[in-house]
Amino acid sequence: MSISMFDILGPITVGPSSSHTAGAVRLGLACRTILGEEVKKAKITFYGSFADTYRGHGTDKAVIGGLLGFNTDNVKIRESLQLAQFRGMQYEFFTGEEGRYHPNTLAIEASGKNTTISLRGASIGGGQIRIQELNGFPMEAACLMDTLLVVNKDSPGVLANIAITLNVAGYNIANLRLARTKREGDVITVIESDARVDEATIKNLMGVQDVLRVISMPKF
């Protein structure tokens, strides 16, 4: 696996910290991407060192900036709390006990006009993130590659049909992981591919029997 200079130095960011700022922006942006609409209300809980320093390190501004759709280098992150209020976003911050979580962990409950999701993730350094839980499903998504989150029924053949659909469209699956909470319930299938999957293929995936939703996550 090749390593770029940005894997070592971290992304271009408004600062002051790649883990406490850039990583938090990306977690907020990932949450907004999964929600699929403008965030109207958000509850953010900080754990570990995030809980101790989120005001001083600007982690609160960073995660709200991500929820507004800003990337790590957007200077508007510095005014994100005021911009969120101007746009009518309601937000609250809480702190929790670290427990078994990574020291730089946060949890977001975000609501739009039509839906609500919950996400827990960690900023692991250099601006890199790990999504660890989505809507109660333990999972792992790093978003270092183009990633699909496929919500599907836990039924025979559905995973094979997802793979066939991607193969027919010419996409190579680099990694694939499943997350489920019970047998014959819903599953989140995390698929990392060597290229970004186009909208036509995503539409075809939505046509696969027992596929409920397909979310395309960009590389962060």
Residue predicted with more confidence, 12 or 178: 178
**Whole-prediction pTM:** 0.87
Q: Which two tokens stand for residue 81?
A: 């709390």
Do 58 and 20 form a contact (C-beta atoms < 8 A)? yes
Predicted local distance difference test score (pLDDT) of residue 17: 58
Predicted local distance difference test score (pLDDT) of residue 19: 57
How sure is the predictor about 5, in pLDDT bands with cuts at 50, 70 and 90? very low
Which residues, 6+ apart, have CB-to-CB distance to 2 below 8 Å? none
Predicted local distance difference test score (pLDDT) of residue 15: 53
Predicted local distance difference test score (pLDDT) of residue 57: 87
What's the DSSP call for residue 76?
Answer: G
Same fold, 5-135 and 146-217: no
Q: Please list the residues that pair with 170 across neighbouring strands.
A: none
Instruction: Report whether pLDDT(13) > 60.
Output: no
Predicted local distance difference test score (pLDDT) of residue 113: 96
CA 169, 208, 179, 127 dihedral sign is positive
Predicted local distance difference test score (pLDDT) of residue 6: 46
Do 127 and 10 form a contact (C-beta atoms < 8 A)? yes
Q: Locate the domains of the chain by residue range.
A: 5-135, 146-217
Instruction: Report whether pLDDT(191) > 50.
Output: yes
Q: How far apart are alpha carbons 134 and 109 in whole angstroms?
A: 10
CATH class of 5-135: alpha beta
pLDDT tens for each residue of 99-137:
677 789 999 999 999 999 999 999 987 778 999 999 999
User: Residue type at 98?
Assistant: E
pLDDT tens for each residue of 14-70:
555 555 588 999 999 999 999 999 999 999 999 998 899 899 889 999 999 999 999
Instruction: Report whether pLDDT(79) > 70.
Output: yes
Predicted local distance difference test score (pLDDT) of residue 99: 67
Average pLDDT of the residues in 179-190 = 90
How sure is the predictor about 97, in pLDDT bands with cuts at 50, 70 and 90? confident
What is the strand order of the sheet 186-193 is part of?
173-180, 186-193, 146-153, 211-217
pLDDT tens for each residue of 156-174:
999 999 999 999 999 999 9
CATH 3.40.1190.20 fits 146-217, yes or no: no
Other beta carbons less than 10 A from residue 177's beta carbon: 12
